[in-house]
Structure 1
Amino acid sequence: MQVVDGMTLDHLDRMTDSTGLIQHAIYSIPRRESGYTTDDNARALRLCTRLWCQHPEKRMLNRVTGYLSFLEHARCPVRGFHNFLSYQRSWLDAAGTGDCQGQAVLALAEVLGSSLPDGYRLLARELIEAVLPALADLRSLRAQAYVIQAWGRLREAEVQDMERFETIACSAARRLVDCYHRSERPDWPWFESRMTYANAVLPQAMFIAAERWPQEGFLDVAQASFAFLDRTTTGEKPEPGSGAFGAKHPAGRSGQSLLTRVPIPAPCFEA
């Protein structure tokens, strides 16, 4: 059993084979027929990259190698990344969703901005540069937020020659602000008419953009939307369940998945 910073990685290893991270489990047993997804492997890549930077040992580097190799294999010949891979190693989609593209580039930015060996960072840069045209076309709110976060990670790490990426990130931030103002009401300062999943990534992206472009009004949107998210999803009030809620969708009390709830503290650190 390997324990890193209080985390036991046995289940991660159990769910990972020579191809990548298997999508689902039956209890604690990998459900092979569920295959693999790029966004799951991207999340695993981000985690293991960060853990390797804290504890640079061979076993963690092997995990990083496998998940990064999956993303390289997921590169779509046309643009962007595939998302769904069958257990028989056949791609099941022509191209992945917008959120898949965002998750993938965020993981690659984590690699490129890290202290991993040169070969890992060079591959991450090549993949990012190859998918920039696809990133510019993203219109999913959360996908654009992931793009902004990815660019922010590279800026934080002082990665050079990322001007095209910066332009794409700034455009994405402006589109998020436009969506915010179209949906905003006195009692609903939010980016869309409903809250669904991964809500915290939206104000977090705005905080990142505001630090680089303070003149754009991004900070006002970041603060207002985060304050609304905080009072809506914490305390005794009903929190978003597995479905959406909004003006015509009252919130339920069923809990969100862990992956949805985990990002909520992140905007606190950005703020």
Structure 2
Amino acid sequence: MNEPLAVEMRLDHMERMTDSTGMIQHAVGPVPDFATGYTSDDNARALIAALGLQSLPECRPWSGRLARLADRYLAFLVYAQRPDGRFRNFVGYDRRFLEELGSEDSFGRALWALGETMRTQPNSYYGRVAAAAFERAVPHATGLSFVRAQAFALLGLCAAWEREERRVALEPLIGELVEGLVAAYHRHSGPGWPWFDEALTYSNGVLPAALLRGAVVTGSKEARRIAEEAMDFLTESLIIDGVLQIVGNHGWFPKGGRPALYDQQPVDAGAMVLAYATFWSVLGRPADREGARISFSWFTGRNVEGISLYDPDTGGCKDGLLAGGVNLNQGAESVVAYLLSAYALVKTGLALPSLPEEEVRAVG
């Protein structure tokens, strides 16, 4: 099965969840829940999705809509950035910050989004604004303590590194983050547990994906080997009889224990799609091509409950797979996870986007 998949995409729900400030965090069903406000996490991911989709020729009918969305998300990140270059995360519906400093993960995701903006929009005002925010943030990248935050930041640095004029300045920082992930792997891995931590928790696929990207930049054979070992471990642990079984957030998967089956989150399926697409694009391993297809199909019903989380009527994605059903709410994190997954597949040639016919006809 080497033919590209057809992945259905709509922008309706992404637009529904976005107002003049940015992307609303949660929803009640498909209706935005204004009381939950906004996060830098969601707006960073949404910025990557909007600009990524805008870069695809197949998504030309959406150019104007995606540009308007990207404006909001980039403006939100600039608003959330502190004078010292770090980021606040939670913002109330009244646009007031709810904390003085966001989590390390939110910092890493913001840096990732800025780096991707610099990569996809090098000659536009998006790229210039992102580069200024990136310069203020990047000194904090090597001071991160948590491995997933390090991985998010590494993805951002590697994206910005693709601009040739940035390479000399960024290569030492990328090397430090690669060394940090390699060191974490050596601290925690053991027989039957080739991993960076004492448990598989959330966004697991981001770790080997980021390390492989870092290995490409640094040329580290050790980092590449570890990235492959960790990715193969995820495949063995999470794809059972051709079905992705994400680690549930009710107990996770501790070293020496058993994985929790529920609740499974769309953001974690999205991380697996990203990882497999990254490995396929760098290494061309057939198993990764198949892993990407299997992981994406989790959204559309190839999961342990046989229920589609993607909602073709709204263009949204339900918030979680539960025992015997789904969480019917369609929040920001979930719809962006779906669209980022679709983008990753299309970008690597593993899928073709299927847009609503009326939108394609309108462009003609």
Q: TM-score, normalised by structure 2?
A: 0.69
Using the TM superposition, give the Cα deviation of residue 78 of structure 1 relative to its aligned residue in structure 2, in angstroms. Answer: 3.0
Q: Give CA deviations for 1:164-221 in whole Å, capped at 9, x if unaligned.
A: 3332221111011111111111111100110100001111112112222234510111
- Partner residue of 2:248 out of 241, 248, 251: 241
Whether the 8 Å CA contact 2:154–2:210 is kept in 1: the answer is yes
Task: Determine which of 77, 89, 93 is the counterpart of 2:95.
Answer: 89
Matched residue, 1:8: 10
Residue in 2 aligned with 1:253?
261
- CA shift, 1:115, in A, is 3.5
Give the superposition deviation at 1:26: 0.7
Counterpart amino acid of residue 119 in structure 1: Y
User: 1:255, CA displacement in angstroms?
Assistant: 4.4
Q: Does 1:169 align with 2:174?
A: yes
Q: Distance in 1 between matches of 2:123 and 2:228?
A: 38
Q: Deviations over 1:49-77 (max 9, x none)?
A: 01222227222211111111001101112
**Matches of 1:116 and 1:218 in 2, distance apart?**
28
2:54–2:66 CA contact under 8 A, matched in 1: yes
**Is the 1:232–1:239 Cα contact (8 Å) retained in structure 2?**
no
Q: Deviations over 1:58-102 (max 9, x none)?
A: 222111111110011011123311100011111011111111011
* Partners of 1:145 and 1:205 within 8 A in 2: yes
Equivalent residue, structure 2, for 1:50:
52
Tell me if structure 1 keeps the 8 A contact 2:247–2:262.
yes
Inter-partner Cα distance in structure 2 for 1:132 and 1:239:
32
The answer on whether the counterparts of 1:207 and 1:267 sit within 8 Å (CA) in structure 2 is: no
Task: Note the 1:17-96 alignment, pairs <5 A.
Answer: 17-54=19-56, 55=60, 57-96=63-102
Percent of paired sites with the same residue: 31
CA RMSD in angstroms comes to: 1.9
Unmatched runs of 5 consecutive residues or more in structure 1: none
Q: Which runs of 5+ in 2 are unaligned?
A: 1-6, 280-364
**C-alpha separation in 2, matches of 1:138 and 1:246:** 23
Residue in 2 that maps onto 1:184? 189
Counterparts of 1:119-130 in structure 2 under 5 Å?
119-130=125-136
CA distance in 1, matches of 2:226, 2:154: 15
* C-alpha distance in 2 between matches for 1:102 and 1:26: 28
Q: Over residues 232-255 of structure 1, what are the superposed CA-to-partner deviations in whole Å (9 max), with x where a residue is unaligned?
A: 011149641113212354212224
For the residue of structure 1 that corresponds to 2:228, the secondary structure is: helix
Do 1:113 and 1:159's aligned partners in 2 also have CA atoms closer than 8 Å? no
Change (3 A) 1:25 1:136: same
2:352 alignment partner in structure 1: none
Q: Give the 3-state SS of the residue equivalent to 1:32 in structure 2.
A: strand
Check 1:215–1:22 CA distance in 2 against 1; reply closer, same or farther (3 A cut): closer
TM superposition outliers: structure 1 runs of 4+ over 6 Å: none
* Larger RCO of the pair (alpha carbons < 8 Å, separation 6+): 2
1:269 corresponding residue in structure 2: 277
Letter in 1 for 2:15: D
